């Protein structure tokens, strides 16, 4: 999330300020604010895909006349809990124009979401945003870990390591880190545009987590329909003897001149827990086939984290999750993965990268 504003005595309002949903009439004002906040693709295709076509997007905009001065977005997601299915919001892209931060415009936009009955789960965000969540009464929910598997010296240089070390990696360690499919395994990995019908039952039957995001076919279709500059999304049904035992979801993208893969979802049925190491090796080997410089993965699942570590992934960062769920005891065993909110499509190409990708080839 971008830097929100700080709570001040003026947060209760400002003359002429209104909090609204996103409609077609407000798109030009939103795009003007987005240009202040983020260096992202400004192609008509990307803007329409992100702000108009997403089937689960909700927005809270602070408007002063015809000017959008603050915004926060959220994706609707259904989570499975012991109490049944609960619709939640995953907020992201919380930003306020500099002049409006002391006036509480961004706080009023967020409080519009907080005033509803649906729980809110926010993953990561700036230190300022995390501190503000605490001051607003949000509670720590769980922690996800992001791991990375370096596959080229070019990635190490990009991360600030020296050219000599990068060359040494390519000469001596690259083959060691390269993922390989298991020679023999009962698990079969089948590329799929969407998960098989058994996944819903797998989510509901599992007992390792008391809060699990349920697959959203509309959201997956939206991601797969992303403009080419956003990358390629890949799904995998995981099967044993033709019976579905799990699902994986990943993205391959270009950013900063490098090519990355991002393992965003991985879930296996409780009875197939011993197959996590095999599933990780199968899927990461498929992703490495796209000639990527590194593979990232983000999850709170202990089984997935153990399998990733066994596949030579390294710890990269810890991402806290904050929850707004007043009047309820928070679940203690939540599954939060890299498909959460904007993490499913971050990083986005910059405006210059987008223009370069769309330009005719000189060759």
**Is a pLDDT exceeding 70 seen at residue 1?**
no
Instruction: Tell me the per-residue pLDDT of 31-89, one tens digit each, with 9 for 90 and over.
Output: 999 999 999 988 889 999 999 999 999 999 999 999 999 999 999 999 999 999 999 99
* Residue 10 pLDDT class (50, 70, 90 cuts): very low
Query: Which segments of the chain belong to CATH 3.40.630.30?
Result: 9-137, 145-348
Give the pLDDT score at 9.
Answer: 33
Instruction: Tell me the per-residue pLDDT of 243-267, one tens digit each, with 9 for 90 and over.
Output: 999 999 999 999 989 999 999 999 9
Give the pLDDT score at 67.
Answer: 97
Give the whole-number percent of the chain exceeding pLDDT 70: 94
Give the pLDDT score at 7.
Answer: 39
DSSP class of 136: T
Give the whole-number percent of the chain exceeding pLDDT 90: 85
Return the structure tokens found at 114: 């907080």
Give the pLDDT score at 8.
Answer: 36
Instruction: Tell me the per-residue pLDDT of 266-322, one tens digit each, with 9 for 90 and over.
Output: 999 999 999 999 999 999 999 999 999 999 999 999 999 999 999 999 999 999 999
Give the pLDDT score at 348.
Answer: 86
Question: 212-213 and 232-240: which strand pairing?
Answer: unpaired
Least reliable range by pLDDT among 25-29, 267-271, 281-285, 359-363: 359-363
Give the pLDDT score at 286.
Answer: 97
Question: 314-324 and 294-299: which strand pairing?
Answer: unpaired
User: How does DSSP assign 139-163, residue by residue?
Assistant: EEEEEEEEEEEE--HHHHHHTT--H
| Contact status, residue 237 vs residue 266, Cβ threshold 8 Å | no
Who wins on pLDDT, 8 or 255? Answer: 255
Give the pLDDT score at 14.
Answer: 63
* Residue 357 pLDDT class (50, 70, 90 cuts): low
Orientation of helix 276-288 relative to helix 302-310, angle to 10°: 60
Closest by CA position to 105, among listed 94, 91, 114: 94
Give the pLDDT score at 214.
Answer: 93
CATH class of the domain comprising 9-137: alpha beta
* Residue 352 pLDDT class (50, 70, 90 cuts): confident
**Is a pLDDT exceeding 70 seen at residue 363?**
no
Return the structure tokens found at 53: 């076509």
For residue 233, list its beta bridge partners.
251
What pTM, to 2 d.p., does this model score? Answer: 0.92
Give the pLDDT score at 353.
Answer: 77
**b/e code 329-344 from CB counts within 10 Å (16+ = b):** eebeebbbbbbbbbbb
**Is a pLDDT exceeding 60 seen at residue 23?**
yes
Fold of 145-348: Aminopeptidase (3.40.630)
């Amino acid at each position: 999330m971008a830097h929100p504003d700080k709570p001040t005595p003026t947060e209760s309002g400002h003359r002429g300020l209104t909090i609204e949903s996103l409609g077609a009439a407000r798109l030009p004002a939103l795009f003007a604010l987005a240009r202040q906040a983020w260096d992202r693709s400004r192609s008509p295709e990307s803007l329409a895909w992100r702000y108009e076509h997403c089937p689960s997007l909700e927005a809270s905009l602070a408007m002063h006349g015809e000017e959008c001065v603050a915004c926060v977005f959220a994706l609707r997601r259904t989570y499975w809990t012991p109490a049944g299915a609960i619709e939640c919001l995953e907020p992201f892209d919380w930003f306020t124009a500099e002049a409006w931060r002391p006036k509480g415009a961004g706080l009023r936009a967020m409080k519009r979401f907080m005033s509803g009955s649906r729980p809110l789960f926010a993953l990561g965000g700036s230190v300022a945003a995390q501190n503000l969540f605490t001051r607003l009464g949000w509670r720590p929910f769980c922690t996800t870990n992001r791991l990375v598997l370096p596959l080229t010296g070019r990635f190490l240089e990009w991360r600030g390591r020296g050219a000599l070390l990068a060359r040494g990696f390519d000469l001596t360690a690259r083959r060691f880190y390269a993922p390989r499919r298991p020679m023999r395994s009962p698990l079969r990995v089948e590329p799929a545009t969407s998960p098989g019908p058994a996944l819903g039952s797998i989510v509901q039957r599992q007992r390792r987590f008391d809060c699990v995001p349920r697959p959203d076919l509309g959201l997956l279709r939206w991601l797969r329909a992303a403009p080419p500059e956003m990358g390629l999304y890949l799904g995998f049904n995981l099967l044993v003897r033709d019976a579905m035992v799990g699902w994986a979801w990943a993205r391959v993208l270009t950013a900063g001149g490098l090519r990355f893969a991002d393992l965003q979802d991985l879930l296996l049925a409780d009875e197939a827990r011993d197959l996590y190491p095999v599933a990780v090796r199968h899927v990461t080997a498929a992703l490495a086939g796209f000639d990527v410089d590194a593979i990232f993965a983000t999850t709170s699942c202990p089984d997935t984290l153990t399998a990733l570590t066994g596949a030579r992934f390294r710890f990269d960062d810890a991402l806290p999750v904050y929850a707004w769920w007043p009047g309820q005891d928070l679940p203690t065993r939540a599954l939060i993965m890299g498909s959460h909110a904007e993490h499913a499509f971050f990083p986005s190409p910059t405006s210059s990268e987008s223009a370069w990708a769309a330009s005719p080839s000189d060759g």
